[in-house]
Amino acid sequence: MQSIKALEKDPYFRLKLIFLCLSVAVVVSIVYVTVVYKMAADIGTTTEFDATMTEARNLQYVIDTHSLAIAEDRVGDILTRHYSQSPSENDITYGFLLLNSPSPFSFSNLPPDKLHPILDKTSIMQEVNDKGITVIEGQQYVWVHLKSNANADILFIKSAKSISLAVDYITRRLIITSFITFWIAVWLALFLATWMNNKVQTKNNALAHIATHDALTELPNRLYLFSICRSEIQDLIAKQSIDHEQKIGAIILIDLNNFKEVNDTYGHHIGDAVLINFAKRIQHVLSSSEILIRMGGDEFVIWGKELDKLSSLSLSENIRIACHAPLIISDLSIEINPSLGISLLFQHANDLDNLMTYADLAMYQSKSNHLGPVVYNKTLSESYLYEAKLRGDLLDAIQKEQIFLLYQPKIELASGKIIGVEALARWNHPIEGVISPIHFIPLIEKSVHIHKFTRYVIEKSIIQAKEWLALGIETTIAVNISPYNLLDGDFARDIEALLKEHQVPVSVLEIELTETAMMNDISSTKSSLQTLRELGLSIAIDDFGTGLSSLSYVSQLDANIIKIDRSFVMDMDTNNHNLAIIEAVIGLSNRLKWEVVAEGIETKEQLTTLSTLGCQYGQGYYFERPLSKQDITSLLEENKQFPN
């Protein structure tokens, strides 16, 4: 499962930004100050060197162009004029010496205790035509050593004042500039950090919204459920461990029953509008502690952190009431009919995944049994597990021939004679025992085995018919097929091949197809049934009355037998409505020359009423329950006639 952790807000994001901007400002300021300081020191040094060198060259010129005695006086004059003999604090100290000279004269205002260490230091490094700076006792001295062109070399030493002057000057200004720059940087950092923080957080919020919401309905989506609701569930569990009374929290799973038809009939744009309007209706009945989530398609979930069993049921009821009025979309009136399944935190599960599974099982139960809201209970899981187990054993059932057939006689009501049988499948499961088709047929229909299964039942029936023919028994066998068989293009050809293989006439076989099954795809049902009719097979419309088709629709289907559903026969003696329907069906079928079979005759009264109404054929426990191969063979052999 994806996580939205990556999109969660960083509470320190702005602080981090400020810190980053300030760090950059400080680093830039330090680099700036260092560079400027260095430049100032370099400028001071260069200026000092240039000035000292010019002075030294002038003195050298005097030495070179005069005799030593005159040069000594002249140089002495110049130096005493420019530099005082006994310097005060602010005066420049200097030293002037002739080297390699017959006359060792020198001038200096430096006391000997200073001059000698300077000479010691400078002489080591001295080369002719050299210059440099030497630091002695914290004081910088610039010295120039020039080669004489005539009389003698000179060494001129001077305390370097302009270096410290330049540095002092720049430093004063630098402190002020740095202070101003730093404050500008601080404000800029604050402004930039706030601006960027707002920009990034706005984008982040937008991204988080997109990731956790459904684009169509604007509702939170499954990512929201599995991250935000999941953590709310964990909080409730943590709270419950402290406050043991607190046992609340529920998931309500909602699925729209007829949504596929809406999409198929009116198109996806109407389907979308249905979902949007449905979501709006539900939101109106929710309180602020309940949240509606769209899981995808027509599946919605409500997570209510304050819901318990009673309030979940009453909320579900309110949802159903909110859905009573049809939705009006583009002048269409569309019915919405939700199925609701409820699972409760603490009572059913302590984690979201299981809560979802259980709510799904409950919802499935609500949908398949056309019930109102269903609260999960353990038996739902048990039946689900049972189904899952049977599903796993289906292939074995066919391959190991665990499926066997029972036969229920079809009686001509007027004579009481058996005119045919209906083959009804049973599964002899090695562990579960004999399983009814109402349990395993829906599972087979949902699996890929349905084609193999029907072919198996038809072949077994054909073989049975052949055995009876060999015994001189001529009777029809009706086989139930699934609507999915009609989608198989080879279905009719396979039946034909089986009949040929076992040399059984086609008139022996009847095909029964439930009315609801035929409604799925009208045009393809029609053409598949036509192919079967062209083969010469009889087609019966089974469980007639339970679907939505009209007699006129059925008349287009080329069927020749109508089997009235057991539910009409069951209470025809007390329910005038059902009696009227049976009467109408029989009347019309007789006129259209269809055979009518009444299913589920259990009493003499029912038989009498049906006979009076003109029903030709009947089936039911009143005559016989579905019988084993041996029992039905005996009945057929003795040509049993039932009382009428």
Provide DSSP, 214-275: -TTT--B-HHHIIIIIHHHHHHHHHHHHHSTT----EEEEEEETTHHHHHHHH-HHHHHHHH
Least separation in angstroms between CB 542 and Mg ion: 4
Q: Does 221 bind ligand C2E (CB under 6 A)?
A: no
CA distances from 47 to 44, 50, 129, 163, 199 (A): 5, 5, 18, 8, 52
Quick one: 45 or 408, whose CB is closer to ligand C2E? 408
Provide DSSP, 23-46: HHHHHHHHHHHHHHHHHHHHHHHH
Contact region with ligand C2E (CB under 6 A), list: 131-139, 150-158, 240-248, 474-482 = 474-482
Q: Which helix (H) or strand (E) holds 544?
A: strand 538-544
Q: Does 624 bind ligand C2E (CB under 6 A)?
A: no
Q: Does 538 bind ligand C2E (CB under 6 A)?
A: no
Would you tell me how many other CB atoms lie within 10 Å of the CB of residue 322? 17
Q: Does 510 bind Mg ion (CB under 5 A)?
A: no
Burial level of 251, CB count in 10 A (0-12/13-18/19+)? buried
Quick one: 91 or 432, whose CB is closer to ligand C2E? 432
Quick one: 304 or 600, whose CB is closer to ligand C2E? 600
How many residues sit close enough to ligand C2E to count as binding (CB under 6 A)? 24
The residue within the footprint of ligand C2E, chosen from 342, 481, 562, 596 (CB under 6 A), is 481
Q: Does 525 bind ligand C2E (CB under 6 A)?
A: no
Interatomic CA distance for residues 435 and 578, integer angstroms: 31
Burial level of 250, CB count in 10 A (0-12/13-18/19+)? buried
- Find out whether 146 and 129 touch, Cβ atoms under 8 Å: yes
Quick one: 256 or 541, whose CB is closer to Mg ion? 541
The one of Mg ion, ligand C2E, none whose footprint includes residue 142, by CB under 5 to 8 A per kind, is: none
Least separation in angstroms between CB 579 and ligand C2E: 17
The DSSP bridge partners found for residue 510 are 478, 538
Least separation in angstroms between CB 284 and Mg ion: 44
Quick one: 126 or 546, whose CB is closer to Mg ion? 546
Interatomic CA distance for residues 402 and 379, integer angstroms: 27
The residue within the footprint of Mg ion, chosen from 512, 583, 595, 624 (CB under 5 A), is 512
Residues in the chain: 644
Quick one: 249 or 618, whose CB is closer to Mg ion? 618
> 99: number of CA atoms within 13 Å, CB side?
17
Provide DSSP, 148-175: -SSS-EEEEEEE-HHHHHHHHHHHHHHH
What ranges make up the beta strands (E) of 305-402? 327-329, 332-334, 338-344, 374-375
Q: Does 517 bind ligand C2E (CB under 6 A)?
A: no
The residue within the footprint of Mg ion, chosen from 55, 298, 542, 583 (CB under 5 A), is 542
Interatomic CA distance for residues 362 and 318, integer angstroms: 18
Interatomic CA distance for residues 462 and 498, integer angstroms: 8
The residue within the footprint of Mg ion, chosen from 475, 480, 528, 578 (CB under 5 A), is 480
DSSP state of 514: E
Quick one: 514 or 589, whose CB is closer to ligand C2E? 514
Instruction: Give exposure, 362-391, as e/b (b: 16+ Cβ within 10 Å).
Output: bbbbbbeeeeebbbbeeebbeebeeeeebe
Quick one: 287 or 608, whose CB is closer to ligand C2E? 608
Q: Does 55 bind Mg ion (CB under 5 A)?
A: no
373 Cβ contact list (under 8 Å, min separation 6)? 252, 312, 313, 316, 317, 320, 340, 341, 342, 366
The one of Mg ion, ligand C2E, none whose footprint includes residue 221, by CB under 5 to 8 A per kind, is: none
Tell me which residue of 359, 401, 358 sits closest to 381, measured CA to CA. 358
Quick one: 500 or 625, whose CB is closer to Mg ion? 625
Least separation in angstroms between CB 483 and ligand C2E: 9
Q: Does 366 bind ligand C2E (CB under 6 A)?
A: no
The residue within the footprint of Mg ion, chosen from 255, 515, 543, 583 (CB under 5 A), is 543
Quick one: 271 or 620, whose CB is closer to ligand C2E? 620
The one of ligand C2E, Mg ion, none whose footprint includes residue 317, by CB under 5 to 8 A per kind, is: none
300 Cβ contact list (under 8 Å, min separation 6)? 219, 253, 254, 255, 278, 279, 282, 292, 293, 294
Quick one: 20 or 627, whose CB is closer to Mg ion? 627
- Find out whether 139 and 91 touch, Cβ atoms under 8 Å: no
Quick one: 338 or 545, whose CB is closer to Mg ion? 545
Interatomic CA distance for residues 170 and 33, integer angstroms: 10
- Find out whether 152 and 158 touch, Cβ atoms under 8 Å: no
Quick one: 52 or 528, whose CB is closer to ligand C2E? 528
The one of ligand C2E, Mg ion, none whose footprint includes residue 619, by CB under 5 to 8 A per kind, is: ligand C2E
Interatomic CA distance for residues 591 and 593, integer angstroms: 5
- x-or-dash string of contact with ligand C2E, 542-581, rule CB under 6 A: xx----------------------x---------------
At residue 574, the 3 state secondary structure works out as coil
Q: Does 480 bind ligand C2E (CB under 6 A)?
A: yes
Residue ranges of alpha helices (H) inside 83-160 are: 112-125
Would you tell me how many other CB atoms lie within 10 Å of the CB of residue 415? 11
The interface with ligand C2E within residues 582-601 (CB under 6 A) comprises 599-601
The residue within the footprint of ligand C2E, chosen from 176, 310, 431, 438 (CB under 6 A), is 438
Q: Does 424 bind ligand C2E (CB under 6 A)?
A: yes
Q: Does 412 bind ligand C2E (CB under 6 A)?
A: no
How many residues sit close enough to Mg ion to count as binding (CB under 5 A)? 5
The interface with ligand C2E within residues 604-623 (CB under 6 A) comprises 619-621
At residue 421, the 3 state secondary structure works out as strand
Contact region with ligand C2E (CB under 6 A), list: 172-180, 376-384, 431-439, 630-638 = 431-439
The interface with ligand C2E within residues 310-349 (CB under 6 A) comprises none
The one of Mg ion, ligand C2E, none whose footprint includes residue 122, by CB under 5 to 8 A per kind, is: none
The one of ligand C2E, Mg ion, none whose footprint includes residue 441, by CB under 5 to 8 A per kind, is: ligand C2E
Quick one: 263 or 589, whose CB is closer to Mg ion? 589
The DSSP bridge partners found for residue 251 are 303, 343
Binding site for Mg ion (CB under 5 A): 480, 512, 542-543, 599
Binding site for ligand C2E (CB under 6 A): 408, 424-425, 436-438, 441, 457, 480-482, 512, 514, 542-543, 566, 599-602, 619-621, 626
